[in-house]
Amino acid sequence: MPQRIAVILAGGKSSRMGADKATAMFRGERLIDRVARLLALQADRVLVSGPSAYGLTLEAIPDDLCAPDGPVGGVFSAARRLSQQQGVRAFLTAPVDAPFLPEDLMARLVGDECRVASDPESVHPTFAYWTLDRLAAMSAALRAEKSISLFRLAELAGARRIEWADHRLFANINTEADRRRFESAEF
């Protein structure tokens, strides 16, 4: 059985938050700790795509200098690092600012192709399953693009949408107001 690897996307600038989202407190723990804990229940290994591991005993994968900007850079940097490891063929991503990520995220997204989470209203490409062979095939073609969205990457990868009924599972914290509002949410 292949390793079930999860990568926390934590390399953003957090400009709307005003401080690093990974270290924002949520229900008594930092967001990075919460997301790492939730993913550890589903994955064999959890890594951080970002400048550091935030004091956790996880491997940190900083963005490659030649990677596109934004979360796509994190995906390609993780793919490059993981492709050098024996037996790894794919990995799951989840954002550091998603305190309610689904308990069945890994179970439902793992497959033979790239997959992306969705709900009846939206697609959530930060919650995705990426195969190394598909990313490698796209890498050369996208290297010239300095900026590409995860939506576009999922589309180009032919990612199959896997739908959850509850959109709240994909709520993310972009501002301090979001953090306060979700802190008291009943789910």
130: CATH: 3.90.550.10
Average pLDDT over residues 3-28: 80
| Cα–Cα distance, 89 to 82 (Å, whole number) | 8
Q: How many domains does the chain have?
A: 1
Q: Nearest to residue 82, comparing CAs of 160, 6, 153, 159? A: 6
Per-residue pLDDT at 79 exceeds 90: yes
pLDDT digits (tens, 9 = 90+) for 116-172: 999 999 999 999 999 999 999 887 767 666 678 899 999 999 999 999 999 999 999
Range of the domain at 30: 5-183
Which tops the pLDDT comparison, 168 or 68? 168
| Helix or strand (DSSP H, E) at 160 | strand 160-163
- Confidence bin at 19 (pLDDT 50/70/90): low
**Neighbouring C-beta atoms of residue 143, cutoff 10 Å:** 12
pLDDT of residue 13: 55
| Cα–Cα distance, 184 to 29 (Å, whole number) | 14
